[in-house]
Amino acid sequence: MNNFARFENQKAIITGASSGIGLAIARRLRAEGATVAVFDFDPKAFAALGAEFGAGHRFLQVDVTDEAQVNAAVAELAGQWGGVDVLVNSAGITGVSAHKTHEITFEDFQRVVRVNLFGSFLTSRAVLPGMVDRRYGRILHLASIAGKDGNAGMVSYSSSKAAVIGMTKSQGKEYAESGVTINALAPAVIQTPLVAAMPAEQVKANTDKIPMKRCGTLDEIAAMACFIVSPETSFTTGFTFDLSGGRAVY
């Protein structure tokens, strides 16, 4: 198989893809032949992305925590495309950081869980019936090393990502005989514009936990994500892949 055309004639939805990790994955999928649809709450980048990606690709303002919006957007695309082959759930927020549990409001905790967990649940639930009917599909949930190890001062984020990992395990087993694989990816800190703007000492505190002593790159996470959702990865489901520079080895 030509790796640079792994997704020829495939249709992919990527959430939270107007910037950062989601955008890097969307670009890689497009480069390998996929037609992509970007779901994002903030449409400011859509005009520029439309010019970059060209005709045929879609950019939809969707709040992934809104059941009606998610269902309507997926139904629209499935109707136009004849089905959805790939879903990558990259939409996520960190919430309040550097605070202990008793300093976190319930509202902040709920907000993070709604985006990170409920959003992944709603989008995957919306695409699954069509994937099962067609006997093919790939779903990838972006988890985090925080969901495996727990990050002090990030109880909302760590809890939500641990829940994403648990959901992935259940979903993978539920659909294991359907031709649909459902996996997660748990990165450590990735070098994004957001990280580049962080204080150097904060970045160092994060990278000191990583045996490779560096951040991951957008190219590295896009490459891993595209491998996971490719037709080649057909005998792995319910699994959480590591992308942590050796921080997690389980």
**Catalytic residue (choose from 136, 157, 175, 250):** 157
Which own/partner pairs from 51-59 qualify as long-range (CB within 8 Å, at least 24 positions apart)? 53/26, 57/30, 59/18
The per-residue pLDDT for 1 is: 40
Is a pLDDT exceeding 90 seen at residue 198?
no
Strands 86-89 and 58-61 turn out to be unpaired
In the chain, at which residue ranges do the beta strands (DSSP E only) sit?
11-15, 35-40, 58-61, 86-89, 137-142, 180-187, 240-243
Q: Which of 61-65, 139-143, 188-192, 240-244 has the lowest mean pLDDT?
A: 188-192
Q: Please name which of 246, 247, 182, 192 lies closest in space to residue 219, comparing C-alpha atoms.
A: 192
CA distance 232 to 227: 7
Q: What is the pTM of this model?
A: 0.95
- Taking each helix axis from N to C end, the angle separating 46-53 and 20-31, rounded to the nearest 10 degrees, works out to 20
Share of the chain above pLDDT 70, in %: 97
**Over the stretch 74-85, which tens digit does the pLDDT of each residue have?**
999 999 999 999
- Reply yes or no on domain 3-241 having CATH 3.40.50.720: yes
**Over the stretch 38-72, which tens digit does the pLDDT of each residue have?**
999 988 889 999 999 999 999 999 999 999 999 99
Asked if 175 is an active-site residue, the reply is no
**Over the stretch 82-140, which tens digit does the pLDDT of each residue have?**
999 999 999 999 888 888 999 999 999 999 999 999 999 999 999 999 999 999 999 99
